[in-house]
Structure 1
Amino acid sequence: MMYWIVFALYTVVETITDLTLAWFPLYYELKIAIVIWLLSPYTRGASLIYRKCLHPLLSSREREIDEYIVQAKERSYETMVNFGKQGLSIAATAAVTAAVKASVSSSSEH
């Protein structure tokens, strides 16, 4: 998990630096070297970055992160309920419309 968190951070940083530093000589070679350093079981670069930088930051904001997750969970439940209500409303309208059309077409045949 540490690797994926660090790699996500690397991806964000890479997106920004690609726009600003791509002209720099050996930029792409440096990017490859950083990825190898992050992946290597000998250097454990991702583990080092996570333990020295990210873990203390995430630990200090653990309460805020937990509150955000709870809020997102509540909002997602409310959103699903609203989509469900809208879906049922659309289905009911379609059923009534189909029933009315069927009734009109059967009464016009008689």
Structure 2
Amino acid sequence: MLGALLSGIFLSACGYLYPAYECFKAVEKNAPNKEALIFWCRYWILLALLTVCERLLGVFVSWLPLYDEAKLIFVIYLWHPKTKGAVYIYNTFLRPVLMKHEKEIDRKLMEVWCRGKDFAVQNAQKFAYQGQAKFFEILQFVTAQAAAAQAAKPQAASASVEKEK
């Protein structure tokens, strides 16, 4: 109903800018309120999860009528002072699942981290080897061109001397 552009503007303002500012205020107070910090951490965790799910399932749900408007209402529900939906959803749904599977998640993350590190090291070594090979190839080309130019100078000089005779 609102249109994608208008919904996007409202979602940016209500889902990101306002919560980010409130989070800033909670962090930068002289005596930060622990409860406020925990609330905003929960909000950002849920928003990140929503964003990831939307990226994965967006093709299937984005065509639903009033999807953008429902998402906007949900995001406001998460942070609104009267509902504080982030506390309810986090404590009721997300926390129990994460607590139950925390060790498995940590193990998988460590596996992915190690594989990624091994992949990066392996490819960095290949890149360095290929870069070194290309560097020496270019160096040989440049020295060959310089040698050819040097060899051509005496011949050109002797040819101009013979033309003068």
Query: For this structure pair, what is the TM-score category when the shorter chain's length is used for normalisation?
Result: 0.7 to 0.9
Asked if residue 32 in structure 1 is aligned to residue 76 in structure 2, the reply is no
**Structure 2 CA distance, aligned partners of 1:69 and 1:32?**
31
User: How has the CA–CA distance of structure 1 residues 28 and 102 changed in structure 2, closer, same or farther, with 3 Å as cutoff?
Assistant: closer
Gaps of at least 5 residues in structure 1 are none
**Structure 1 CA distance, aligned partners of 2:67 and 2:141?**
67
The number of residue pairs the alignment matches comes to: 106
Question: How far 1:38 moved relative to its partner?
Answer: 0.9
Asked if residue 87 in structure 1 is aligned to residue 131 in structure 2, the reply is no
Which of the pair has more CA radius of gyration?
Answer: 2
User: How has the CA–CA distance of structure 1 residues 77 and 31 changed in structure 2, closer, same or farther, with 3 Å as cutoff?
Assistant: closer
Give secondary structure in 2 for the equivalent of 1:61: helix
State the Cα deviation string for residues 33-88 of structure 1 (Å, max 9, x = none).
32221111221101110001100001110111010111111012112202211221
Q: Relative to structure 2, which stretch is displaced further, 89-98 or 48-57?
A: 89-98
User: How has the CA–CA distance of structure 1 residues 44 and 91 changed in structure 2, closer, same or farther, with 3 Å as cutoff?
Assistant: same
Structure 2 letter corresponding to 1:65? I
Gaps of at least 5 residues in structure 2 are 1-40, 152-165
Structure 2 letter corresponding to 1:6? L
User: How has the CA–CA distance of structure 1 residues 81 and 43 changed in structure 2, closer, same or farther, with 3 Å as cutoff?
Assistant: same
Question: How far 1:27 moved relative to its partner?
Answer: 5.5
The percentage of counterpart residues that share the same residue type is 27
List aligned pairs for 1:11-22, cutoff 5 A: 11=51, 12=53, 15=58, 16-19=60-63, 21-22=64-65
> Please, what is the CA RMSD of the aligned residues?
2.1
Residue 62 of structure 1: aligned partner: 102
